[in-house]
Amino acid sequence: MAGPLSGVTVVELAGLGPAPFAGMILADMGAEVVRIDRIPAAGSSGFEAMKREVSPIDRGRRSLAVDLKDPRGLGIVLDVVAKADALIEGFRPGVTEKLGLGPAECQARNGRLVYGRMTGWGQTGPLAQAAGHDINYIALTGALHAIGHKDRPPPPPLNLIGDYGGGGMLLALGVISALFDAGRTGRGQVVDAAMTDGSALLMTLIYGWLRSGHWRDERESNLLDGAAPFYCTYECADGKYVAIGAIETNFYSLLLERLGIEDALFADQWATAAWPEQKARLAALFSTRSRAEWCRLLEGTDACFAPVLDLAEAPSHPHNAARGTFVAAGGTIQPAPAPRFSRTPSELPAPGPRLGRHSVGILEGLGRSSAEIADLLVAGVIHQASD
């Protein structure tokens, strides 16, 4: 496997949301990620069925499907952990302890193990045991309040802030940081990554501006929340949209020049009282041409312009195509691994496996005999997916 984490082994206790995203990042960087899956049950439907579907976020794993309620299954997982560098899990606090796979049990088998824990509220605090999802975690940190129009409820910004930016990405960084320390000290540790903590961390700049008086605690009243006419989106004549981000004075001046605007109304970029009228004028102007026409006039200039592409359009945009930002694998268009490394470049990992696809191979790697593996299969302690 290519990538800077080649040679690193990570155990992932299968779950939803940010922990699998962290697993994908680590696999993209070259780590061998062994996912511990539950033995699949027949007849699942709805959201349970969705959780069973293989998606690009599952790429790069080896899957061991095992019954953790059976002592033999638990022993198998602890044997895998004994040879691993890190473990990541995304359950409520205390769940892995009840399974017999908590930090104490795992680090007793492997003192160098980095144990990454991903939760919404964190391992401690009055909400630690409450259920929740991305929207709840970002609501608690002020992030959700700051997004959207002032006269409407704040909209759910997909699950990018809590689950992925403030969750999975934070967990991956924490695990890699702890692995670096373990390489120097020979000692593992527990990484407590909480989506509330991560979402708050992503808001550091905004909280700084709030303290200094450069941010109003009201939606659509500030530089980056859609109030500024030079930092927002506009609808075009064909119903498509463009995004403008001309914050710096020279970029703003170029935008006005390209748009043919000489009106004194736009002379003072930071006259916030004029922003609503400026925005209305720009909206009327952008509505006179199609998105393609605006692209021909503005794209590639320092006016800080981009078309708002839908999910079907984005992969084929010339810039994304030139950089290979998206790749097609197994009939699925998906984002390519990032960031990029000059000496240890990452490669797109293999597609996500069916549950239990590598169970037998993993046990063989642990030195289990063919007869023992056959007994475990018959007893339902492990599951091997058919090709």
Active site residues: 133, 163
- Distance between CA atoms of residues 186 and 213, nearest Å: 47
Q: Name the β-bridge partners of 232.
A: 244
- Distance between CA atoms of residues 306 and 300, nearest Å: 8
Residues 61/26, Cβ–Cβ less than 8 Å:
no
* 253 token code pair: 């001046």
- Distance between CA atoms of residues 73 and 368, nearest Å: 13
Vertex 61 angle, CA 362 and 42, to 5°: 80
Greatest CA span in the chain, whole angstroms?
85
Residues 128/119, Cβ–Cβ less than 8 Å:
yes
- Distance between CA atoms of residues 360 and 351, nearest Å: 19
Task: State residue 380 phi and psi, 5-degree precision.
Answer: 80, 15
Which segments of the chain does DSSP mark as H helices, in order? 18-28, 46-52, 71-82, 95-99, 103-109, 134-140, 169-185, 195-202, 204-212, 249-259, 275-286, 291-298, 318-323, 359-365, 370-379
Q: Name the β-bridge partners of 84.
A: none
Residue 328: left if φ>0, alpha if ψ -120 to 50, beta else—which one? beta
* 97 token code pair: 């302890």
